[in-house]
Structure 1
Amino acid sequence: MTSKPVVVAVVVTFNRRELLETTLAGITAGTEVPDAVVVVDNASTDETAEFLRTYRGAVPTDVVTLNANVGGAGGFVVGMERAVLDHGADHVWIMDDDTEPQPGALREALDVSEAYEQETGEAPAFIASRVVWTDGRDHPMNRMRPRIGASEAARSTAARIGAVQIRSASFVSVLIRADEIRRHGLPIADYFIWNDDLEYTARVSRRGTALATSASVANHHTKVFGDAGADPGPRFYYEVRNKLWVYTRSNALAPWEKVLFTGASLRNWAKTIAASSNRKILLDGLFKGLRHSLKAPRSNAEVLKGIYALRNVQEPAK
């Protein structure tokens, strides 16, 4: 007999108390619940801090309040490290505060992971959920990148257990094996927002197996239904800088993948700018992103220096 794996959920939040409440409710209402939840509050200025002070969920909740907003990327670095080092996680289940996992999300992801290991003797690096918008449509912001060049045997094995092989995933309900975090390290905090998930999941899956399953479902409560091609305004800077960091500063992608993805990004950026009513803002972000991508990301230690404010472990409700 093997012992039950320890699963720790990690949620990063900033100024979205109501959405965070929905996220935590989804986690704790599942047919399978994690052994603990780590919530990283990125120095919220709304009612989030007060909500977390009084929150009592169905599982122990480790609330980490930061004294500066280090973005989703920095928050996931803090939370994933806490999950592995402090809580002894075997799997880390990560998501933003606008994610609502559906009841079977965690159980189905674990089942696929276990089934694949039984079939092949190899533990998959991570399992990604199917991500849908509030109306049930597949969310274009969370499209999985299929694994180009996967063998017919590998595709068939994945299909037999209700999964597909993928190359990368978003940080919206993805179950990562803790051994992979120890092996490949943590995300890059200096990305702040956007493409930190692309870089990290592609880094982890470059020489490992990553799967997505439609049996595990999470709702992504974004304001609008769209992908990164929707007009991002000033945030376009992060799209440009961070994608270029992935292509020029990371070993997550093979050289041929970098060429392929760079061409796709250039086409998408051109379409986004052409369709925008705020072209000046996007062009400013483009040139600023190009300029800043010439300098490598700072180390996590530098980005996160002095950001810890408070930690409070909440015991489950009785």
Structure 2
Amino acid sequence: VLALLTTSAKDEGGRARAIALFSAVSSSGASIGLILGGILTDIASWRWTLFINVPIGLVVLALVGRLVAETAPRPGRFDIVGAVTATGGAAAIVWSLIGAPEHGWTSARTLGGIAVGLLLLVALVLTERRVAHPLLQLHLFNSHRRVAAFIAAVGLVGAQFATFYLTVIYLQGVLDMGPLASGLAFLPLTLMIFAVSRVAPRIAARIGMSRVLVLGATGLTLSFVWLSTLTETSTYAGAVLVPFLLNGAFASLVFTSTTALGLEGVDAAHAGSASGLVQTMQQLGGSIGLAVIASVYVANGTPGEVVPGMREAFYAAAALGALGIIASLSVVVRRHSGTRSFAPGRAAVEVD
């Protein structure tokens, strides 16, 4: 989807607007899912939260042929080995991390699964260096701005997804909200994402996309720190609503900027590979963040109680956010540390 949006845009302005809208929809999807999931769980069963994807998929299949222009096919062989090693490596790492809170970070299951995943990813890199039509374009990692955006996405998206996990536990376990009410509690966050996404391209045009990432990473991390102050006596209006609004506003900037920087300078032929990397980094970040923060929560918690351990877990989310801040600052610092070289008869050239 992201590749089709970027390649079908008529100009850079259209591309920026398409990325902003895509980021708004994708980043708010998690909170919208909480609302819809609450409705389905209340009126039917949690199993419907999985089945609801079937009719959505059928509608997409019915409309895509009419509304989406086809791209020109390119001859070549499918990179089967690359697909297997990429999928297997990512799945092994995610499987290991998800089970880490239950089985332990030093267990044979966790360490063995991570080792298998890393070996498969090494095999992926070796494969992509020699095949004619690689699934993963290794030259995409030559850009410092793109790599920094990937690192920021892992940290910030991981912290964001884990925050949803923690706040749902708090809303239901402390504030006694049901599934539907808990989902609706995320509505202000979702609306803020959509609102800020409308102006994100203008902000980027004024201050630059790298500074948008710094701004978004900083604000998002502050929302995690704010949520760490939740107690047994806190209320939704007094302690949750404002951090949610702050979170939604800056999450929109993070998703827009990491997506835009991840696709920056990529030609149409490699848009699929680049967009796949953007999505992979976000999903891996979510899995890593949830595993890390759930482990921190369990390690510092008290059985049968909700609040103990939550402060430390939100601090862990803020630590992942700090990783995103450092990565985003490296883009700005590197850009402004460029030197100017002069040659007789030539204009000064700024080196990034």
TM-score (norm 1): 0.24
- Report the structure, 1 or 2, having the larger helix content: 2
Structure having greater relative contact order (Cα 8 Å, sep ≥ 6): 2
Name which one, 1 or 2, has greater alpha-carbon Rg: 2
TM-score (norm 2): 0.23
